[in-house]
Structure 1
Amino acid sequence: MNARLCLLATAVAQGLSFSAVADDSDIERLIVTGDFKSESIQELSASASLFSDAEIATRDAKYLDELLNQAANVNFTAGASRGRFVQIRGVGLRSQFVDPINPSVGMIIDGINYSGLGGAAMLFDVDQVEIYRGPQGTRFGADALAGMIHMESADPTLEPSLKVKLGMGTYNSWDAGIAAGTGFGEKSSVHASFYQNKSDGYMSNAYLEREDTQGIDERVARIKLHSQLSEHWRAEFVAHMMDIDNGYDAFTLNNSRTSVADEPGRDTQDSSAFGLSNIYTGFEFADIEFNLTALDADLLYSYDEDWVCNDPLQPALCKAGLHPWGYSSTDSYQRDRQDGSAEVRFNGKGGNWVAGAYYQSRDVDLLRQYTWNEGDFTSHYDSENLALYGQIETPISDKTRLVTGIRIERNEGDYNDVYGVTESVEDTMVGGKIALEYQVVPRTMIYTSLSRGYKAGGINAEAIAKANDEGLSQDAQFFLNHRTFDPEYLWNAEFGVKGKSADQRLNLRITAFYMYRDNIQLKAWKTQGQQFAGYYDNGSSGENYGLEIEGEYALSPRLTLGGSLGLLESEIDGFVSADGTDKSGRAQAQAPKYQYAVNARFDITDALFVNLALEGKDQYYFSNSHDARSPSVNLLNATVGYQADLWSVNFWVRNALDEDTYTRGFRFGNNPVNEYATQNYVQYGEPRVAGVSLNFEL
């Protein structure tokens, strides 16, 4: 199959290489900034997707998960109020409970590392979202085994600017944002924004007679300050404040959107962060960049574990809770996370080399309050990462360039908890990239690359804690044998074609890839009655390979088409679940065999437009430890908009046909009425939602 994919990509390269010269304005030039330098996405020797602020506004996407279905081979899962766990090419985490996690897909916002804090991905005043597929071992290291999401908010300018957004929609939703900037003096500028988003959410609670127990209440404030302090010294400062207070009431015994939980949970994040960059350009051999970041986040994730009420005055609604075998319990996880990082980077004057050193510390304190535990469970995990990296671009001929990069990273983690358990992990990991780029003609480039990513090992804190739980204590030795797990390495080979058609109306990017996961880290679950515990284990290996196609085509001056297609095959090798089932040969979780998105924008007049979008994905497994699946789905979205000089209004609808979608799934017994028979339970995704947004920009 890989050979056929490469032949297809080569044929496309030949088709794009016919010489012609035309106006370059038909298709917008797409610039990515998340790698070591700013460059056209057509020149990047990696597979990536880019979404501009205009695309975000057309879709009225307020949060990252409302955008991800547009990217090839990118999936997400919730298990929370938002789809904040992302998978790229079938690789990525799906949840977090007790365990301190090492993300597989990183997230950088304005240079600050928010990996593992997906709730921060709000999109107001974000200029663009970049999604890098495949390991980013040289640039981002241990947080980017499968890929990286890079978000950049609007930069300050010397000219005054103002942006205002007002929106309202179904489910009693509304949002409002304001962003403004200006220059002061001749060499300094500032840009600030504030945004609030509220919604009742898509669940109703019949017992509490509320519509907002799965509600959204999010606020974010950002400020950027840029200053040219001298001829060669530039300083850039950014600060974020986020206040997320969402509800969590997602699961029901009958898999409906009507809950009867008497103690619905919460999903909150109260965080502040800053970044400071100093760039000095006065040396002849290189520019020097010194970056500092700090982040402090208080997180709460809680839920009603039995999903039902226990009120004898409501016997019909509370039937399961009042059953003789019924139970009532809640689970709550409060985290205090503090991150700090420092980086020094040397950038060659010709833009052809970079070298640097990076240090990051992360301290996480956990307080778990669980009905079945005797007393509170507390733990502390602190980790440190120190990395050295470098990358050089070497011209081989006037059309061929060799890119070579390496990153050596040392990770150390120390864990202790209230039970007196102490564990440490120490790993030295090496990643990097070798890429050969060939410019067929000025408009068309082909590349082949081999990259290696890595993900640090870790500690199964939940497994250790569960060894003391009632109901699972007989499996204490099993959990103690799984106290830690080892690092995972990912080898990624790609062959890509990127180019424009002769008439400049078509941009096309095609990538064929093969990934080998060595010592693959997999999440598994061990259950006993209504008690269960999650843990990470290492399988022997895994394979993920496929094809990614993305592009834009100006069919006429008024009709533009765009879209993506992702094809993916995945397999687990050498992994046995806790119940003794050999999962070898089965597809990996969250890895649909195909994903697609098609967009058509028709400009009826210079001001009035219609945008239709169709997106879908194949069925996929929810987990590596059981065989419950999400079904295939096809969704229709539409926008009608009017754009004047300074303002615009969009009428939008997502999931117009109101298809059922699922963002999380489990398989276990939780219903006493049917004697706790094992069954599938799902969390619903976004139903049909519609609204209007008014935007003013000066």
Structure 2
Amino acid sequence: MNARLCLLATAVAQSLSFSAFADDSDIERIIVTGDFKSESIQELSASASLFSDTEIASRDAKYLDELLNQAANVNFTAGASRGRFVQVRGIGLRSQFVDPINPSVGMIIDGINYSGLGGAAMLFDVDQVEIYRGPQGTRFGADALAGMIHMESADPTLEPSLKVKLGMGTYNSWDAGVAAATGFGEKSSVRASFYQNKSDGYMKNAYLGRDDTQGIDEQVARIKLHSQLTEHWRTEFVAHFMDIDNGYDAFTLDNSRTSVADQPGKDEQESNAFSLSNIFTGFDFADVELNLSTLDADLLYSYDEDWVCNDPDQPALCKAGLHPWGYSSTDSYQRDRQDNTAELRFDSKGGNWVTGLYYQSRDVDLLRQYTWNDGDFKSNYESENLALYGQIETHISDKTRLVTGLRVERNEGDYSDIYGVNESVEDTMVGGKVALEYQVVPRTMIYTSVSRGYKAGGINAEAIAKANDEGLSQDAEFFLNHRTFDPEYLWNAEFGVKGKSADQRLNLRITAFYMYRDNIQLKAWKTEGQQFAGYFDNGSSGENYGLEIEGEYALSPRLTLSGSLGLLESEIDGFFTADGIDQSGREQAQAPNYQYAVNARFNITDALAVNVGMEGKDEYYFSDSHNSQAPSANLLNASIAYQADYWGLNFWVRNALDEDTYNRGFEFGNNPVNEYATQTYVQYGEPRVAGVSFSYEL
């Protein structure tokens, strides 16, 4: 690990330890719940960010990607209506087409595994969002190679409560939500919420005369039921119902926000999910928890592949489509995904050990309807994961604690399609964590840890299919030699400092990390004219190292500063693209060298507050298979909020200076007018958006 980063972190630990008090009971405790137990973020031996419902409301963030720029070393891509593919420290997927995917960054919402279903990350009535950086090999296993996002909606209460939100903004956007909770009997309570968000989106379609072809139309309903059935038996039930009907019309030949596509795509998700947890506390040695969940999701992702129109009555708008070399095609991916999970867990009474058994099955049916295919393409991928895990905390002294965790996971996947292709993968993977925590003083903790994460191998379904594709048939041997790819392992070493100054005005968390990616999985593309195919391949290795700083400082009783800084260096070793380009020594995709966020909150009165913030990131590569980059960006955000006893108003603006940003990029030829010359095509991020929201809570 970089010695200078460790020296900096040590110096901060010493500065925070000055004049510490013996009693820290008055410290504000920010509690994270996504690990094996609830604990203060200041006591967690891992790098993590937490966003409360107050911070979510201040930005009027409706979806996860409107929040992620605030977290150190966290990036995201769209390639759809939303930025639903997340990267942590430069590691994470960027898209999904034919191939079954194994997520690098997992997502848990109310205990239900939504990994790979980023569209579910709507934020209404969510109490907090936790982002864990680095492999979570013991807790979450194969879905958390690079990190984990944990979201928890508000719990039911015995006392009646009501929450209402109404909002409106630019681009004809509006949203409305209601949540209510109550108790029934003396030991049971329920909370239900419903939310809808609509917007025309940020693209105009000149050919169709519409401004909503990239529109947002999202609904989510959640129900939570908690009941203390007996003295020692508690049950918790969760139900989620989501209906996402978004448009997808993002790319243009001139890289503008004005499309001329005649067949815009869709980005839809209709899903139902349920979980049931039973907790028994009657044993002397441990509490026993049985968690069951099921998720059924119907997904549609489609797009106009040529991005243009072919109408002879519109020769100017449809110039590219009417060109002698022009073409017209669409691509559509319909998935039916069924997940079932079961987890049996034992937590010691003293809270010093936990062990459990985890099972997950996933069944995904794919229907692809593509203009250039001879008939519909259908495939099925069934996978099963079985894991045994355990973690123990050993108190070496009153100030020193050793945390040791281990997880052994077996993954089996079976793939079949209409071409008669049958492939299987079987992997046994081992991950875990060893962390040493030292409480320098009651307000300052330092830790060092070594953890290992893993990501299962998989099947290149698109490569297999393309072996039978006329446009790429000359590459059949290449694709058949890339039918499968192997697991990736990630070693992560961290040194961290977490503390609070003696006067309690400064709260700081610093982590220096070094990660080694063994058998690194990288996405590549094989192109031939206007035909292309994506596939995963294993490089030799990769390195990712850097620094993460997050904190808050009360400059005065009315002015509070907060912010984050992520520094990241990354490198690919031993990877050649399908076109023979050696990417060794190049930075990894989605890995900007720096990211920052600085926010100031000034309480003008007890009821009126102003928030101003800047966030930005360095330039970074869109992909590992080409060298096009997203430019650096710096965005200004602001809000003015008035809060009375039960109601509040919030006037907000994001990207106030209307800076162009890009959240997806490809490099290939798609314009017949310039003879299909290779160039970079981008999808724009959020422009300047502004609005007002009203909230009522009782």
Q: TM-score interval w.r.t. the shorter chain?
A: over 0.9
Structure 1 residue aligned with 2:71 = 71
Task: Name 1:668's counterpart in structure 2.
Answer: 668
Q: Distance in 2 between matches of 1:88 and 1:389?
A: 24
2:210, 2:682 → 1: CA distance? 21
**Structure 2 CA distance for aligned equivalents of residues 180 and 470 of structure 1:** 57
Q: Which residue in the other structure is 1:524 paired with?
A: 524
Cα contact 2:20–2:443 (8 A) shared by 1: no
2:123 is equivalent to residue 120 of structure 1: no
CA contact (8 A) 2:24 2:443 kept: no
Once the two structures are superposed, the pairs formed by residues 462-541 of structure 1 within 5 Å of their partners are 462-541=462-541
Deviations 1:475-518 (A, max 9, x none): 00000000000000000000000000010111100000000000
Alpha-carbon distance, 1:29 to partner: 2.0
| 1:384 correspondence with 2:384 | yes
| Structure 2 residue 27 is the aligned partner of structure 1 residue 18 | no
**2:9 alignment counterpart:** 9
Contact 1:22 1:504 (8 Å CA) reproduced: no
1:446 is aligned to 446
Secondary structure at 1:57's aligned position in 2? helix
Report the counterpart of residue 570 of structure 2 in structure 1. Answer: 570
Within 2, Cα distance between the matches of 1:557 and 1:221?
Answer: 39
Matched residue, 1:251: 251
User: 1:28 deviation in Å?
Assistant: 3.8
**Can you list the C-alpha shifts for 1:118-155, whole angstroms capped at 9, x where unaligned?**
00000000000000000000000000000000000000
Q: Distance in 2 between matches of 1:697 and 1:359?
A: 39
8 Å contact 1:27–1:553 — kept in the other structure?
no
Unpaired runs of at least 5, structure 2: none
| Residue pairs, 1:29-40, within 5 angstroms | 29-40=29-40
Secondary structure of the corresponding residue to residue 75 of structure 1 = strand
Question: Is 1:101 paired with 2:98?
Answer: no
| Structure 1 residue 303, shift from structure 2 partner | 0.1
Aligned counterpart, 1:85? 85
* Equivalent in the alignment of 2:48: 48
Letter in 1 for 2:374: E
Determine the structure 2 residue equivalent to 1:221. Answer: 221
Conserved? CA contact 1:640–1:651, under 8 Å: yes
Deviation at 1:424, TM superposition (A): 0.1
**SS at structure 2 position matched to 1:405:** strand
Deviation readout 1:592-641 (Å, 9 max, x if unpaired): 00000001000000000100010000000000000000000000000001
1:549 is the counterpart of 2:543: no
Are 1:259 and 1:308, in contact at CA under 8 Å, matched by a contact in 2? yes
Deviations 1:630-666 (A, max 9, x none): 0000000000010001011000000000000000000
Which one-letter code corresponds to 1:695 in the other structure?
Answer: S
Separation in 2, partners of 1:23, 1:392 = 27
Which SS does the other structure have where 2:471 is aligned? coil
The superposition leaves residues 83-117 of structure 1 with CA deviations (integer Å, 9 ceiling, x where unpaired) of 00000000000000000000000000000000000
Provide the aligned C-alpha RMSD in A: 0.9
Which residue identity does 2:596 align to in structure 1?
A: Y
Q: CA deviation at 1:18?
A: 1.1
Residue deviations 1:312-334, cap 9 Å, x none?
00000000000000000000000
Residues in 2 aligned to 1:484 and 1:358: alpha-carbon distance in whole angstroms: 26
Q: How is 1:168-187 mapped onto 2 (pairs within 5 angstroms)?
A: 168-187=168-187
Question: Is the 1:49–1:130 Cα contact (8 Å) retained in structure 2?
Answer: yes
For the residues of structure 1 that align with 2:697 and 2:27, how far apart are their CA atoms? 23
Aligned 8 A contact 1:27 1:507 in 2: no
2:470 match: secondary structure: coil
Q: Secondary structure at the match of 2:4?
A: helix
In 2, the alpha carbon distance for the partners of 1:274 and 1:499 equals 39
Partner of 1:411: 411
Partner SS for 2:463:
helix
Aligned residues of 1:107 and 1:149 also touching (Cα < 8 A): yes
Structure 1 residue 25: Cα displacement: 9.5
Query: Is the aligned partner of 1:278 residue 2:278?
Result: yes
1:275-674 aligned at under 5 Å gives the runs 275-674=275-674
Write the deviation string for residues 363-395 of structure 1: whole angstroms up to 9, x where unpaired. 000000000000000000000000000000001
Residue 132 of structure 1 is matched in structure 2 by: 132
CA offsets, 1:520-576, max 9 Å, x none? 000000100000000000000000000000001111110010000000000000000
Cα displacement (A) at 1:21: 3.8
Residue identity matched to 1:590: Q
Residues 187-226 of structure 1 aligned to structure 2 (within 5 Å): 187-226=187-226
- For residue 586 of structure 1, give the secondary structure of its aligned residue in structure 2: coil
CA distance in 2, matches of 1:480, 1:576: 17
State the alpha-carbon separation in 1 of the partners of residues 140 and 324 from structure 2.
Answer: 53
Tell me, yes or no, if the aligned pair for 1:180 and 1:193 is still in contact at 8 Å. yes
Measured after TM superposition, the shift of residue 23 of structure 1 is 9.9
Compared with structure 1, are the counterparts of its residues 183 and 487 closer, same or farther at alpha carbon in structure 2 (3 Å cutoff)? same
1:499 and 1:173 map into 2 onto residues whose CA distance is 41
Q: CA deviation at 1:22?
A: 10
Shift of 1:19: 2.3
Q: How far apart, in 2, do the equivalents of 1:150 and 1:107 lie?
A: 6
For residue 470 of structure 1, report the CA deviation from its aligned partner: 2.0
Q: d(CA) in 2 for partners of 1:79 and 1:311?
A: 26
Count of aligned pairs: 698
Q: What is the DSSP-based 3-state SS (H/G/I as helix, E as strand, rest coil) of the residue aligned with 1:225? A: strand
**1:96 corresponds to which letter in structure 2?**
Q
Point out 4+ residue stretches in structure 1 off by more than 4 angstroms.
22-27
1:27–1:506 CA contact under 8 A, matched in 2: no
Q: Measure, in 1, the Cα distance between the counterparts of 2:16 and 2:144.
A: 32
Whichever residue aligns with residue 648 of structure 1, its letter is G
2: CA distance, partners of 1:368 / 1:622: 25
CA contact (8 A) 1:26 1:504 kept: no
Cα deviation per residue 1:420-445 (whole Å; 9 max; x = unaligned)?
00000000000000000000000000
| 2:265 is the alignment partner of 1:265 | yes
Contact preservation (8 Å) 1:249, 1:264: yes
1:59 is matched with: 59
Measured after TM superposition, the shift of residue 27 of structure 1 is 7.0
> Is the 2:161–2:182 Cα contact (8 Å) retained in structure 1?
yes
Deviation digits for residues 215-235 of structure 1 (CA, Å, limit 9, x no counterpart): 000000000000000000000
Equivalent AA in structure 1 for residue 606 of structure 2:
D
1:151-205: per-residue Cα shift (whole Å, max 9, x none)? 0000011111100000000000000000000001000000000000000000000
SS state at 2:582 partner: coil
| One-letter identity of the residue aligned with 1:511 | T
Q: d(CA) in 1 for partners of 2:500 and 2:313?
A: 69
Whole-angstrom CA distance in 2 between matches of 1:455 and 1:188: 40
Match for residue 167 of structure 1?
A: 167
Q: The residue matched to 1:472 in structure 2 has which SS?
A: helix
- Paired with 1:400 and 1:23, the residues of 2 have a C-alpha distance of 18
Deviation at 1:14, TM superposition (A): 0.1
Question: How far apart, in 1, do the equivalents of 2:23 and 2:542 lie?
Answer: 46
C-alpha distance in 2 between matches for 1:199 and 1:470: 40
Q: Structure 1 CA distance, aligned partners of 2:133 and 2:509?
A: 13
User: What is the rounded CA distance, in whole Å, between the counterparts of 2:408 and 2:304 in structure 1?
Assistant: 43
In structure 2, the CA distance between the partners of 1:25 and 1:643, relative to structure 1 (3 Å rule), is farther
Displacement after TM superposition at 1:460 (Å): 0.1
CA distance in 2, matches of 1:388, 1:677: 52
Distance in 2 separating the partners of 1:369 and 1:244: 21
